[in-house]
Each structure stands twice: as C-alpha cells, then as structure tokens.
C-alpha cells in the first residue's frame, strides 16, 4: 500500500467501487457554525461551538432519531440558555442547510456513471425532509437518525459496509471531521478529510477520480 491520498494509478489499485460522501461541509453548505455564534449568550470559538454541539445530549438524541424536532429544540434551548422559543430555534435549525455547493450536483453527475454514489450523514428529521433533490443524485443514502447511530461510532461504519455489500477497501469516504475520517479508516475504508467543496474537488483530482 502507498500513502493515504496517493492517486490510485500510482498505487496500482483498482478505483473504488463506491464513493461515500458526508453531506454538510462536503457537498452541502450547512451554515450552523455561522449562525450558532449569534445565538449563544457568551462568545465562543467555532471549534468550541462545534465540540459543544457534538457533545450535546439533545443533539445526540435528535441525530439518533430518538426524539422529534420540537422535543430537541425545547431541550437544546434549555441546555444552552438561548434567548429563543423552541419553535423559533427550530426554524433557525431548519434554515441551516442551503443546498448543494455550486458545482456539487454536476460533480455527482460526472462521477455516477463510473461509481456507486452514497451518502453518510449525521442528520435529523428536519434537515432530511429538505434533501429530496439532493437524494436524487445518490444511489444509496445513510442518515444517522434513520440508522440510530451517529458518526464516529464504529457501528455506523460497519452497518454501511454491510448494507453496501462492498469490501471496506472498495469504499472511498470523504468527510469534514477528522474523528469521522479516522473511524472510517479503522473500519478499513479509504477515507479522506475534506473541508468544503473546493477541498473535495482538489482531493478527487489528486486521487485521479476526476
């Protein structure tokens, strides 16, 4: 094996059968880290906000599909001491995903004839309901609230590998979270950290996939 990130042609390896993409921050513009600083009572860095979001009991339950949107927003507003009503906060949450980054749909159209396209996203019922057009561009889609598991739990990667019916090394995964990428590599996937669509495009070019 060569180094992670080397083009497949240089590694004398077959190209991956499945390209597995995270959505928010990879293919989809999700503005939650831009909006959250406007809501919290005290200033926090983007990194601290993201860490707090991921560790929030309300977020964990919501993204596992264990609670509905209004229960999540009620718990989260109380958790974070937000000066918003639960319904007002839920409206903000629903507006965070802005759809595909420019060029993302065209990219998937270019890749799909040669590869199975799949998504693996930590998501929820509110966001997923707005992804109908985005889902048309994939062959398979795995959402945390449907699977009952969230990244980087190793179990969600094992589930996806099993459902796809591929060997782990036949799956090339792209995510904007280092912990998710590490978990995917431990599961045997060829996983790559890409933050934003421009980094994704650059990585695909390096790998010789576009």
- The percentage of residues in the chain with a pLDDT greater than 90, rounded to a whole number, is 82
- Determine the pLDDT at residue 208: 94
The pLDDT of residue 4 is above 70: no
The pLDDT of residue 37 is above 60: yes
Query: Can you tell me the distance from the alpha carbon of 11 to that of 105, in angstroms, rounded to the nearest whole number?
Result: 29
Tell me if the bond preceding 152 is cis, omega within 30° of 0.
Answer: yes
What is the value of pTM for the model shown?
Answer: 0.91
- Determine the pLDDT at residue 83: 93
- Determine the pLDDT at residue 47: 82
43 secondary structure, DSSP code = -
The pLDDT of residue 2 is above 80: no
Over range 76-98, report the average pLDDT.
Answer: 96
Of the listed ranges 16-20, 36-40, 188-192, the one predicted with least confidence: 36-40
- Determine the pLDDT at residue 183: 98
Of 32, 174, 177, 21, nearest to 98 by C-alpha is 32
In this structure, are residues 124 and 145 in contact, taking their beta carbons and an 8 Å threshold? yes
The pLDDT of residue 107 is above 60: yes
The model's pLDDT over 122-165, given as tens digits with 9 standing for 90+, comes to 999 999 999 999 999 999 999 999 999 999 999 999 999 999 99
Query: Can you tell me the distance from the alpha carbon of 38 to that of 43, in angstroms, rounded to the nearest whole number?
Result: 9
The pLDDT of residue 26 is above 70: yes
- Determine the pLDDT at residue 6: 59
The pLDDT of residue 1 is above 50: no
Kindly report the average pLDDT of the chain as a whole number: 93
Give the contacts of 198 (CB within 8 A, at least 6 positions apart).
Answer: none
Of 34, 9, 56, nearest to 196 by C-alpha is 34
Beta-strand relationship, 97-100 and 28-30: antiparallel
- Determine the pLDDT at residue 3: 54
């Amino acid at each position: 094996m060569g180094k992670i990130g080397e083009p497949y042609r240089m590694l004398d390896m077959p190209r991956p059968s499945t390209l597995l993409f995270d959505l928010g921050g990879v293919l989809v513009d999700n503005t939650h880290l831009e909006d959250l600083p406007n809501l919290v009572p005290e200033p926090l860095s983007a990194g601290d906000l993201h860490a707090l979001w991921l560790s929030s009991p309300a977020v964990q339950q919501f993204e596992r599909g264990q609670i509905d949107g209004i229960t999540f927003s009620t718990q989260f507003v109380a958790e974070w001491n937000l000066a918003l009503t639960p319904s007002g906060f839920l409206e903000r949450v629903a507006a965070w995903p802005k759809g595909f980054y420019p060029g993302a749909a065209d990219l998937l159209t270019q890749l799909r004839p040669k590869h199975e396209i799949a998504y693996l996203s930590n998501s929820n019922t509110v966001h997923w309901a707005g992804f109908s057009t985005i889902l048309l561009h994939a062959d398979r889609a795995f959402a945390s609230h449907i699977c009952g598991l969230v990244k980087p739990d190793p179990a969600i990667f094992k589930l996806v590998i099993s459902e796809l019916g591929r060997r782990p090394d036949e799956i090339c995964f792209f995510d904007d979270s280092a912990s998710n990428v590490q978990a995917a590599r431990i599961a045997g996937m060829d996983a790559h950290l890409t933050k934003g669509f421009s980094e994704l495009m650059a990585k695909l070019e390096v790998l010789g996939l576009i």
